[in-house]
Amino acid sequence: MSISIAIMAAGLGTRMKSTLPKVLHEISGFEMLYHIIKESQKISDDIHVILYHQADLVQEKMNRYFSGIHYVIQDHQNFPGTGGAIRGVVPKYEKLLVLNGDMPLLEAENMQNFTHLEADVVMSAFTCKEPFGYGRVIMDSHQNVLKIIEEKDASVEEKKVTAVNAGVYLFKSDFLKENLPKLSNENSQKEYYITDLIALANAQNKMVKALFVDENTFMGVNSKYHLSIAEELMQERIKRRFMEQGVSMRLPSTIYIEADVQMSGECKLENGVSLLKGTVLENAHIKAHSVVQKSVIKNSDIGPMARIRPDSLIEDTHIGNFVEVKKSTLKGVKAGHLSYLGDASIDEGTNIGCGTITCNYDGKAKYQTIIGKNVFVGSDSQLVAPVTIADDVLIASGTTVTKNIPKGALAINRAPLKIMEGFFYKFFGKNHA
Ligand code: UD1
Ligand code: CA
Bridge-partner residues for 100, per DSSP?
A: 8
Question: Are the C-beta atoms of 78 and 70 separated by less than 8 Å?
Answer: no
Q: Model confidence at 92, in pLDDT bands (50, 70, 90)?
A: very high
Of 53, 226, 289, 337, the active-site residue reads 337
Cα→Cα distances 263→246, 302, 330, Å: 10, 15, 19
- Whole-angstrom distance, CA of residue 76 vs CA of residue 82: 10
| Whether the predicted pLDDT of 168 surpasses 80 | yes
Residues 6 or more apart whose CB falls under 8 angstroms from that of 103 comprise 32, 36, 167, 168, 218, 219, 220, 221
**Average pLDDT value for residue range 224-236:** 98
Instruction: Tell the burial category of 118 from Cβ atoms under 10 Å away from its Cβ (0-12, 13-18, 19+).
Output: exposed
Angle at 290 between CA 366 and CA 326, to 5 degrees: 10
Neighbours of 81 (CB within 10 A): 23
C-alpha gyration radius of the chain: 30
287 and 304 in contact (C-beta within 8 Å)? yes
- Which H or E element spans position 36? helix 32-41
Q: Which atom of ligand 1 is nearest to the CA of 50?
A: 22
Q: What is the pLDDT of residue 22?
A: 96
Tell me which residue has its CA closest to atom 28 in ligand 1: 100
pLDDT-wise least confident of 23-27, 204-208, 429-433:
429-433
- Per-residue pLDDT tens over the stretch 377-393: 999 999 999 999 999 99
Residue 174 clears pLDDT 80, i.e. is over it = yes
With the most atoms of ligand 1 within 8 angstroms of its CB, the residue from 34, 100, 110, 196 to mutate is 100
Whose atoms come closest to the Cα of 101: which ligand? 1
Q: 51 in the Ramachandran plot: left (φ > 0), alpha (ψ -120 to 50) or beta?
A: beta
H/E segment holding residue 264? strand 262-264
Cβ atoms of residues 292 and 278 within 8 Å: no
Smallest CA-to-CA distance from 87 within 180, 175, 10 is with 180
Instruction: Evaluate whether 301 touches 282 at the Cβ level (below 8 Å).
Output: no
Q: Which residues neighbour 130 within 8 Å (Cβ) at sequence distance 6 or greater? A: none
228-411 in CATH: which number? 2.160.10.10
- Mean pLDDT of the region 191-219: 96
Say if ligand 1 is within 6 A of residue 134 CB.
yes
CATH, domain 4-212, list 1.25.40.20, 3.30.2010.10, 3.90.550.10, 3.40.50.620: 3.90.550.10
Name, in order, each residue with C-beta under 8 angstroms of 251's C-beta and a sequence gap of 6 or more.
270, 271, 272
Count CB neighbours of 362 within 10 A. 11
| Reported confidence tier of residue 17, pLDDT bands at 50, 70, 90 | very high
Where exactly are the structural domains of the chain? Answer: 4-212, 228-411
pLDDT for residue 432 is more than 80: no
Instruction: Spell out the alpha helix ranges (H) of 87-187.
Output: 108-112, 156-159, 173-179
Average pLDDT over residues 299-320: 98
Q: Which residues pair with 228 in a beta bridge?
A: none
Residue 362 binned pLDDT confidence (cut-offs 50, 70, 90) = very high
Least confident of 59-63, 127-131, 248-252, 262-266: 127-131
- Give me ligand 1 centre to Cα 174, in Å: 22
Q: Cβ distance 71 to 63 under 8 Å?
A: no
pLDDT-based confidence at 143, cuts 50/70/90? confident
For residue 57, what is the DSSP state? H
Atom of ligand 1 nearest to the CA of 167: 6
How far is the C-alpha of 123 from the C-alpha of 196, rounded, in Å? 12
Q: Is the pLDDT of residue 414 over 90?
A: no
Q: What is the mean pLDDT of the chain?
A: 96
- Does the C-beta of 91 come closer than 6 Å to ligand 1? no
pTM reported for the whole predicted model: 0.94
81 touches ligand 1 (CB under 6 Å): yes
Helix, coil or strand: residue 321: strand
- Is residue 41 within a helix (H) or strand (E), and if so which, with residue range? helix 32-41
The model's pLDDT over 95-129, given as tens digits with 9 standing for 90+, comes to: 999 999 999 999 999 999 999 999 999 999 999 99
Confirm whether 337 is a catalytic residue.
yes
Looking at residue 38, its pLDDT comes to 98
